[in-house]
Amino acid sequence: MRGMGNMQSMMKKMQKMQKEMLQAQEELNARQFEGTAGGGMVKVIVSGERKVLEVNIDPSVVDPEDVEMLQDLITVATNDALNKVDEATAATMGKFTQGLNLPF
């Protein structure tokens, strides 16, 4: 019967870890991440859920003759913000999956 006690203990640990993972994911989702380009002339803010919340463009970078540059700056700022989400997710969720070889 000793094996049953170990199984119950392991199940409790797994339930606790699952609860902690859900809480950590909720906290990440509630955070906002800012990406920038052009020395801060373009800023993109995304949620931890990878949704674009805001785009701020300094009027000085708006050139009707060079729309391509503005598009590039927006792309760079968006990717910068999304990379920050990925880094925060890996840092936060990695402690739960470390050694388990599981995707998060």
Asked if the structure places residue 102 within a domain, the reply is no
Q: How many CA atoms lie within 13 Å of 73's alpha carbon, on the beta-carbon side?
A: 22
In a domain, 45, yes or no: yes
Check pLDDT > 70 for residue 101.
no
Residue 18 lies in a domain: yes
At CA 92, angle to CA 21 and CA 52, rounded to 5? Answer: 100
Task: Report the 10 Å Cβ neighbour count for 4.
Answer: 8
104, part of any domain: no
* pLDDT category of residue 103 using cuts at 50, 70 and 90: low
| C-alpha–C-alpha distance, residues 80 and 42, integer Å | 11
Q: What pLDDT digit, counting tens, does each position of 16-67 carry?
A: 989 999 999 999 999 999 999 999 999 999 999 999 999 999 999 999 999 9
Q: Is residue 52 part of a domain?
A: yes
**12 is a domain residue:** yes
SS3 category, 26: helix
**Count of CA atoms in the C-beta half-sphere (13 A) of 38:** 20
The answer to whether residue 103 sits within a structural domain is: no
Q: Reply yes or no on whether the pLDDT at 70 is more than 80.
A: yes
**Mean pLDDT on 76-85:** 97
CATH number at residue 69: 3.30.1310.10
Confidence band, pLDDT 50/70/90 cuts, at residue 6: confident
What does the pLDDT average to over 71-83? 97
Q: What percent of the chain has pLDDT over 90?
A: 70
Integer Cα distance of 43 and 81 in angstroms: 9
Q: With a threshold of 0.85, does the pTM exceed it?
A: no
Q: How many domains does the chain have?
A: 1
Q: Domain containing 48: what range? A: 2-97
Domain presence at residue 22: yes
